[in-house]
Amino acid sequence: MASLKELKGRINSVKSTQKITKAKQMVAAAKLRKAQAAAESARPYAARLAEVMGSLASKITVSENSPKLLAGTGSDQVHLLVVANSDKGLCGAFNSNIVKAARLKAKELEAQGKTVLFYLVGRKGRAVIKREYPKQIAHMFDTSDVRDPGFNEAEKIADELVAMYEDGKFDIAHLFYSKFRSALVQEPTCQQIIPVPAPTGGVAADSEAVTEYEPEEEEILAALLPRYLKTQIFGALLENAASEQGASMTAMDNATRNAGDLINKLTIQYNRSRQAAITTELVEIIAGAEAL
Amino acid sequence: MALHFELVTPAKLVRSEDVHMVVVPGTEGEFGVLAGHAPFMSTIADGALKIYKTENGAPEEITITGGFAEVGDAGLTVLAEHVEG
């Protein structure tokens, strides 16, 4: 049986832990709203661009002369896994879920005899992948010096990816991030980003009016592909940010509740042992008085 | 007749309004878009977008980089990566 003083110390320490988790929960709730709004306001651009890409792609045929970003390198030997994580912890299984999805894919690809490389975004998740694939990390993109990864970061990532792609460092790139379903549900998602999967939909919507292109369709498409890539990565970063806050909120809510339960249990134990001590003292006094 | 004009960046919808005319700095030369323009698609050179709210008014200028313009039945949509001003 722990002494009274020990119990009191433990109750206090759990109480301060609860304060931290509660504060983090409230911060996450506020940030979640902001992240959701950011994801919301990025949607028109992505939708428009996808529409334009769709109508362009339906007009040209993919051939050897098509931009490499669309047609691919003609081989599928080297796969690059772009894993987007967060920079901060205290968000439950958010990061480990993404890393788990990436590792599964890596195992699957390696079983097929492909080469797997990693491109890591964000600070968390580095350690795990580094331990398992120490020689296969192509690059680690640091986002810890900015508050919220925004379009500038997406741009830099996309530029680096395109440069690597053009140097022939990889053939196919997959992007791993967490899709935001709700504050309770985040879905680790794998998406092929290079070569750009031909956008579907938007087919022959403008069949009656012939659209003029300036410059030619192919040139526009070539100019748009990197932009489309940026938008995809930007969208993923935003989804990730919202998911992180959602996961953090849920995890911290659970932690706060657990801490509350623990405090109740410890308090009961504390009171019991205090009463036991008083009873023992009384028994001793009465026994002493009777002996006289 | 007014032209419906939208300026969209990845971060947000910057403008969505009815204007008289917009002059867009296309990669192959500037072009003005009035209401009822034929369907048209062009990439945009980095430069200033001139928005004429009324026929004789002074234009409002918005500097954009990394842009793309689409003219359809719904009006003019400019997608730009960065917008200043």
- The CATH number given to whatever domain includes residue A87 is 3.40.1380.10
Q: Count how many residues are written for chain B.
A: 85
**Does residue A159 form part of some domain?**
yes
* Cα separation, B80 vs A156, whole angstroms: 16
Specify whether A261 is located in the same domain as A241.
no
Q: Which of B10, B27, B43 sits opposite A151 (nearest CB)?
A: B10
Angle at A169 between CA A166 and CA A174, to 5 degrees: 90
Specify whether A165 is located in the same domain as A239.
yes
Distance from CA of A45 to the nearest CA of B (A): 5
Specify whether A94 is located in the same domain as A123.
yes
The tally of CA atoms less than 13 A away on the side-chain side of residue A230 is 23
Specify whether A13 is located in the same domain as A86.
no
**Does residue A26 form part of some domain?**
no
Q: Where are the alpha helices (DSSP H) in A133-216?
A: 151-166
Tokens 């309770």, located at residue: A184
Q: Which residues in B lie closer than 8 A to residue A48 (C-beta atoms)?
A: 8, 70, 77, 79
**Does residue A30 form part of some domain?**
no
Specify whether A63 is located in the same domain as A201.
yes
A46–B10 CB contact, under 8 Å = yes
Specify whether A204 is located in the same domain as A263.
no
Q: Which of A45, A51, A58, A60 to mutate to test the interface with B (most CBs of B within 10 A)?
A: A45
Contact A63, A161 (CB under 8 A): no
Angle at B78 between CA A48 and CA B74, to 5 degrees: 70
* Count of structural domains within chain A: 2
Specify whether A245 is located in the same domain as A260.
no
**Does residue A198 form part of some domain?**
yes
The tally of CA atoms less than 13 A away on the side-chain side of residue B34 is 3
Specify whether A195 is located in the same domain as A81.
yes
Residues of chain A whose beta carbon is less than 8 angstroms from a beta carbon of chain B are 38, 41-42, 44-46, 48-49, 52, 150-151, 154-155, 206, 209-215, 219-220, 223-224, 227, 230-231, 234
Domain ranges for chain B, please list them: 3-84
Specify whether A117 is located in the same domain as A155.
yes
What b/e sequence results for B53-79 when a residue is b if at least 16 CB atoms lie within 10 Å of its CB, and e otherwise?
beeeeebeebebebbbbbbbeebbbbb
* Cα separation, B65 vs B79, whole angstroms: 10
Specify whether A184 is located in the same domain as A271.
no
C-alpha A13, offset from chain centre: 31
Contact A155, A162 (CB under 8 A): no
CA dihedral A91, A92, A95, A97 (to 10 degrees): -150
| pLDDT of B8 higher than 80 | yes
* Cα separation, A115 vs A228, whole angstroms: 26
* Cα separation, A148 vs A143, whole angstroms: 8
Specify whether A234 is located in the same domain as A259.
no
Specify whether A230 is located in the same domain as A98.
yes
Please report, for chain A, how many H helices and E strands are present, in that order: 7, 6
Is the peptide bond prior to A215 cis by the omega test (within 30 degrees of 0)?
yes
Structural domain harbouring A271: 4-21+253-291
ipTM of the complex: 0.80
| Predicted pLDDT at A64 | 63
A211–B73 CB contact, under 8 Å = no
Distance from CA of B48 to the nearest CA of A (A): 18
Could you list the pLDDT tens digit for every one of the 292 residues in chain A? 678 899 999 999 999 999 999 999 999 999 999 998 888 888 888 888 888 887 777 777 666 667 778 777 778 889 999 999 888 888 888 999 999 999 999 999 999 989 999 999 988 888 888 888 888 888 888 877 777 778 888 888 999 999 999 888 889 999 999 988 888 888 898 988 888 876 655 444 444 457 778 788 778 888 888 888 888 899 889 989 999 999 999 999 999 999 999 999 999 999 999 999 999 999 999 999 999 8
Contact A211, B40 (CB under 8 A): yes
Closest residue, chain A, to B71 (C-alpha) = A211
* Cα separation, A282 vs A41, whole angstroms: 71
Q: Which CATH class is domain B3-84?
A: mainly beta
**Does residue A194 form part of some domain?**
yes
Q: Which residues in B lie closer than 8 A to residue A45 (C-beta atoms)?
A: 8-10, 13, 79
